[in-house]
Amino acid sequence: MPLLTWNSKYSVGVEAMDKQHTMLFTMINDLHAAMSKGQAQSITGALIGKLARYVHEHFAAEEAIMASTHYPDLLKHRTLHRDLTQKVDEFAARYARGEGGLNVQLLNFLRDWLTNHIQTVDHGYMSWMNEHGVR
């Protein structure tokens, strides 16, 4: 059973962003499934690397859309993205240093961050984007 299930409450009304958010859900669910099977150690390194790259790409894409519509809270959003990216990068560095026990911490961080960020911060741009022709 997946840890997170995509549904309409997570939609931000921008198809490209919703697709990217569902990809993040998939990555989190992949880690959760591996943990449930006792296989988390074998995929954690690859998943953290993939996740770190994807987070950078996703935030750049989201910020580009915001910039194209002159979204008024872009700088605030960019700061939040930078903070979240730094945390993901810190997990990757900790893993690279050989720190054990990161899987549960990483999974909880990702779950909480993704659901809270989408439902609070990202939902804040939905109306603006839609009013400016971004769907």
78 located within any domain: yes
- In angstroms, the CA 34 to CA 95 distance is 17
| Phi, psi dihedral angles at 18 (to 5 degrees) | -60, -40
pLDDT surpasses 90 at 63 = yes
Give the structural domain span for 95. Answer: 14-131
Q: Decide if 25 contacts 83 (C-beta within 8 A).
A: no
pLDDT in tens, 70-104: 999 999 999 999 999 999 889 888 888 888 777 78
What's the number of domains the chain is made of? 1
3 located within any domain: no
54 located within any domain: yes
Q: Decide if 109 contacts 87 (C-beta within 8 A).
A: yes
Q: What is the CATH number of the domain that holds 30?
A: 1.20.120.50
End-to-end, the C-alpha distance of the chain in Å comes to 31
7 located within any domain: no
110 located within any domain: yes
pTM given for the model: 0.86
